[in-house]
Chain A
Amino acid sequence: MATTALDFLPAPLRSLRLKTKQQELLLRVSTLALIYVLAFAVRLFSVLRYESMIHEFDPYFNYRTTLFLSENGFSEFWNWFDSESWYPLGRVVGGTLFPGLMVTAALLHRLLRALSLAVHIREVCVLTAPFFAANTTLVAYAFGREIWDSGAGLVAAALIAIVPGYISRSVAGSYDNEGVAIFALLLTFYLFVRAVNTGSLAWALASAFGYFYMVSAWGGYVFIINLVPLYVLVLLVTGRYSQRLYVAYNCMYVLGMLLAMQIRFVGFQHVQSGEHMAAMGVFFLLQVFFFLDWVKYLLNDARLFKSFLRITLTCVITVGALALGIGTASGYISPWTGRFYSLLDPTYAKDHIPIIASVSEHQPTAWSSFMFDFHILLFLFPAGLYFCFKRLSDATIFIVMYGLTSMYFAGVMVRLILVAAPAVCLISAIAASATIKNLTTLIRAKSKSPQAASGKTTGSKAAAKGAVDQSLPFQHNAAIALLLGAFYLLSRYAIHCTWVTSEAYSSPSIVLAARGHNGGRVIFDDYREAYYWLRQNTPPDAKIMSWWDYGYQITAMGNRTVIVDNNTWNNTHIATVGRAMSSYEDEAYEIMQSLDVNYVLVVFGGVTGYSSDDINKFLWMVRIGGGVFPVIKEPDYLVNGEYRVDKGAAPKMLNCLMYKLCYYRFGELTTEYGKPPGYDRVRGVEIGNKDIKLEYLEEAFTTSNWIVRIYKVKPPKNRS
């Protein structure tokens, strides 16, 4: 219809008329551009609701290091020894972090400066994650086109732009490694699949660089270095070995491994740790396979080849087993780490490593959070798997394996939903795109067939197919109904994602918001109040003891030395703090003296009803402390296996340091109308010890809503 209208236009304008191919291209590019903008814009809720600020815990460390990097340069950063954390041990920051994120942000900052845009590094850090999420949509489009077609690519880009599982880690302000790592992960996979499809060294090299970026950004690179060999192995077993695969894998593995070794935190792990041995094994296996293939090609004689095969295989297996055995026995190849074990066996961490089990994002995933994070993708995923199996190719096998393994891992640990999100989006996109395409072909074929009778359209394939399918009754109407249903589902998905982003995932968790009595929003900014107090009112060399969750924030915002922080590299040190918190005051005083502690900081939610406070985390402190110091026993703090803080609580619980610091002077306070004084709004009970006297510490500062309480450790008494 548009073409007829254009016919009336003057000649120069008529030349602007686009052919169908060009129209399609224009449509595709503009859709992609819109998706790009959408992916960025939807992540800005947190900036609108609160302010341009860094969220949560780890991002504060990343921000602090980025600041250091942009002020002192790369070489200083690389050799940075940080004496402000892990007092008195300190931390070799340059050698114990993944520098990818900081370097990226610092480069972006420098680039913007070069373009004479005077932005603060904080704004760059806040917007890094949304920027990379937007880039991820482009990669998802390219990946979708590689494994299916450009339609599926577009749908995948649209789905991944707003999938809550990914947004949860990439809203503006969540300046964490995952923000850039998911981009790097998907890019590596895309380039690798591309290399397998083309068999080109250049693509394999590109995928090695993608892998390098991933290694520099996030510890999750272990997933790549295990998934890719697994994929190669599956192709070998199913008889899909090709020389394209040989080229892609070997080039990617050798170069990727070498590049990864340049990251100091990873170092020699690629040749020493058990987690990386699968890749090496598959590398050697591929060489053997290639060699056998080549000999077979040369020989052209089945009997001779069989005897040759027997000899070689026996040799290779013996040598491989010997090497592995000697390597493990001599301690050269280190065994798997705890986090890896807990991936394979979900109950491992709970029994063996409390420090891993204590983090809520390492818990197994509940069904509801799958539903919350994936919504309709959860139903589209199996359908997409069906389509993938129907049109099996090297690329679809890869995406199926990526989807299935990452889904398994997502079930084991909440935070790994993030890794599964791209795969789920891609596979669901295949389902959505293929279904809609089928339906529209049906509808168009039907509407075209009368035209074909009048001789207007050429006998296209679709029309011919429609003519054959006409035997089915109500096909046209059913197709329209199904199409409407699909659009309804997809629009529900969009609504759900927007709602989840605005309600659940945009909270900075450093500023808390709650609904007041009259329905208005109440903001609790106690954390920053406390950290600024520390910054202004304590001596610059003061040492602050708190539970490790708050370490990064204290060093970044309060600019003071902490005993332990979120980089949980030294379990004993954390256990010492846990022991101090769960001892009586006089014992704790000795520990604090030995650690040179000047101030103790606790987080307490009893007044506001903020539930993730130190009293609720306290059992983990006891467990972690008890894991190293057997003096601390968990049953001492429980009554009949029950954790309580009211009158019926265990005597040790009522008098330990943490209880005293949290509930000091709380007995005088009325928190809720109609309840006795000292009513804890989180636990919903009246506290058991209202008359708390502190002997070795004194209250220094309590924030306006009592969320953070800071105590000063008194100097030792004079000898009398």
Chain B
Amino acid sequence: MPRATSDAKLLIQSLSNAYAATPTNLKIIDLYVICAVATALIQVAYMGLVGSFPFNSFLSGVLSCIGTAVLAVCLRIQVNKDNKEFKDLPPERAFADFVLCNLVLHLVIMNFLG
């Protein structure tokens, strides 16, 4: 048991050390993602308490959060300087794509909210 806890401690420590070296703009995106996922979780918990009656409203709420989070992760992948796969993609283009996708996402959500 002590070995496991020390392992976990070591794990968390080295993770936070490594994460500290991440550039600030990526950290901001991470915060945004965490925020979106947390909102989704709160909505799911609320659904568990109250029930999912206007199901489309519930779905649009949760999916807008998940969609936002996923799109932000995609943006994070694309603007990450260490990422070799997306060297050719300029960050401006990545951001424009991101905005476009978000626009579509939220227009559809608005239609679905009903």
Contacts and interface: CB of A to CB of B under 8 A. Distances in A.
10 interchain residue pairs of minimum CB distance: A201-B97, A298-B18, A247-B74, A250-B70, A254-B67, A202-B97, A243-B77, A258-B108, A201-B101, A205-B101
Interface string B73-105: 111011000010110010000100110110011
Given A200-B89, A202-B100, A244-B85, A254 B15 contact: no
24 contacts: A200-B89, A200-B97, A201-B78, A201-B94, A201-B98, A205-B104, A243-B77, A243-B83, A244-B85, A246-B73, A247-B77, A251-B71, A254-B63, A254-B67, A255-B67, A258-B60, A258-B67, A258-B108, A261-B112, A262-B108, A262-B111, A290-B73, A299-B18, A300-B18
Contact of A251 (B14, B63, B101, B109): B101
B70 to A, nearest CB: 5
Interface in B25-47: none
A642 interface: no
Interface in A410-460: none
Interface of B: 7, 10-11, 14-15, 18-19, 55-56, 59-60, 63, 66-67, 70-71, 73-75, 77-78, 83, 85-86, 89, 94, 97-98, 100-101, 104-105, 108-109, 111-112
A701 B63 CA distance: 58
Given A246-B77, A251-B101, A201 B71 contact: yes
Overall SS of chain B's interface = helix
Interface string A234-255: 0000000011101100110011
A443 B14 CA distance: 63
A89 B98 CA distance: 48
Contacts of A242: 85
Contacts of B59: 261, 268, 271
A210 to B, nearest CB: 13
Contacts of B109: 258
A247 B94 CA distance: 11
A397 interface: no
Contacts of B112: 258, 261-262
Contacts of B10: 304
A307 interface: yes
B65 to A, nearest CB: 11
A244 B85 CA distance: 8
Contacts of B15: 295, 298-299
A389 interface: no
Nearest to A301: B14
Contacts of A271: 59
Contacts of A259: 108
A199 B89 contact: yes
Contact of A247 (B67, B78, B104): B78
Interface of A: 199-202, 204-205, 208, 242-244, 246-247, 250-251, 254-255, 257-259, 261-262, 268, 271, 290, 295, 298-301, 304, 307-308
Nearest to B66: A254
B5 to A, nearest CB: 12
Nearest to B37: A287
Contact of A243 (B14, B70, B71, B85): B85
Nearest to A291: B73
Contacts of A208: 104
Contacts of A243: 77, 83, 85-86
A22 B42 CA distance: 59
A304 B94 CA distance: 34
Given A199-B85, A199-B89, A299-B18, A255 B104 contact: yes
A313 to B, nearest CB: 15
A594 to B, nearest CB: 37
A251 B85 contact: no
Nearest to A200: B97
Overall SS of chain A's interface = helix
Contacts of A308: 11
B102 to A, nearest CB: 10
Contacts of B70: 250-251, 254
Nearest to A270: B59
Nearest to B4: A307
A295 B22 CA distance: 13
B77 A304 contact: no
Given A258-B60, A295-B15, A299-B11, 16 more contacts: A199-B85, A201-B98, A202-B97, A202-B100, A202-B101, A243-B85, A250-B74, A254-B71, A255-B67, A255-B104, A257-B63, A258-B112, A261-B59, A298-B19, A299-B14, A304-B11
Contacts of B66: 254
A195 B86 CA distance: 13
A255 B89 contact: no
Nearest to B16: A298
**Which residue among A200, A204, A257 has the maximum number of chain B CB atoms within 10 Å of its CB?**
A200
A443 B86 CA distance: 41
Contacts of A199: 78, 85-86, 89
Contacts of B78: 199, 201, 247
A255 B105 contact: yes
B83 A307 contact: no
A299 B13 CA distance: 10
Contacts of A254: 63, 66-67, 70-71, 105
A307 B7 contact: yes
A547 B112 CA distance: 39
A201 B74 contact: yes
A268 B94 CA distance: 31
Nearest to A244: B85
Contacts of A204: 101
Nearest to B77: A243
A261 B58 CA distance: 13
B105 A258 contact: yes
A212 to B, nearest CB: 9
A280 to B, nearest CB: 11
